[in-house]
Chain A
Amino acid sequence: NAGVTQTPKFQVLKTGQSMTLQCAQDMNHNSMYWYRQDPGMGLRLIYYSASEGTTDKGEVPNGYNVSRLNKREFSLRLESAAPSQTSVYFCASSWDGSYNEQFFGPGTRLTVL
């Protein structure tokens, strides 16, 4: 039982390049989330998916797109990376409904030059 896995662990991009961050969970959770973590800002929600086939914007969605490929996988795409997107990205998952614990992946550290 691997929990939530993310790839890659580290990535360096040049401004304007694109990339996709991958996330998968093996806990049969319905809901999945993408957050970014910046110094002094805590975690901010980028996008979430309440169930397979649905996605919704969070607090900071600009510059990102997501795909809920199936129940297990939820990817985050940067179409044209900008230095402001330098951050640590965390994927999380949870059962749907109320007050359920979110389980986090180990994170992807992204640097955009």
Chain B
Amino acid sequence: DAGVIQSPRHEVTEMGQEVTLRCKPISGHDYLFWYRQTMMRGLELLIYFNNNVPIDDSGMPEDRFSAKMPNASFSTLKIQPSEPRDSAVYFCASSLDRAPLTRDTQYFGPGTRLTVL
């Protein structure tokens, strides 16, 4: 299995530009998670999907952030317009949850390192 795939791996953009991050989860996984990691705040959950449906987006910082999952094998996280404080590593993760009480764990992609100038 190729694991979780993210693109691009690095993105440098200027303030005000639109940024789109992409994720392909592990085939067959029911859940997809978007995280942001910074030195100051650690790993923060932004949003997660179950069977392509957004379940909890309470971690999305503001309206500039949006996420979609048009099908089981693809998700995007968009920032429009981007700001310097959005600079972080964005991780996508997926998991197979057969039931709430299982020990299914998350598998992370390599991340996208975003720098907004």
Partners in one complex: no
> Which residues of B approach A to under 8 Å, CB–CB?
none
